[in-house]
Amino acid sequence: LVDEITAHHWVGNTVDFLVKWNLGNSTWEPHAHCKELEALDNYLELQGAPSVQRLPKGSQRTRNVRD
């Protein structure tokens, strides 16, 4: 299960997300693997982006919501 999405980076016109899994490990996953996740909705809200296409280009990390 997914704990949260903590970062994103663009490669050309596609975006990958750094997914933190409940077991503690993190992996980069393509948007297609994340688009139905509640964690993606939370990440977009933290980034202030109304949609994936509006995420900043380059690599971005979220603020830790638990801090």
Q: What is the dihedral of CA 46, 51, 52, 58, to 10 degrees?
A: -60
Q: 37 lies in a domain?
A: yes
Number of separate domains in the chain: 1
Evaluate whether residue 27 is within a structural domain. Answer: yes
- For 4-13, what is each residue's pLDDT tens digit? 999 999 999 9
Residue 55 lies in a domain: no
| Structural domain that includes position 22 | 2-48
Residue 37's alpha-carbon distances to 1, 17, 29, 67, in angstroms, are: 10, 11, 12, 22
Q: Using 50, 70 and 90 to split pLDDT, how confident is the model at 22?
A: very high
pTM of the predicted structure, to 2 decimals: 0.85
35 near 17, Cβ under 8 Å? no
What CA–CA distance (Å, rounded) separates 66 from 52? 23
d(CA 42, CA 65): 10
With respect to residue 57, please indicate whether it lies within any of the assigned structural domains: no
Mean pLDDT across the stretch 52-63?
A: 79
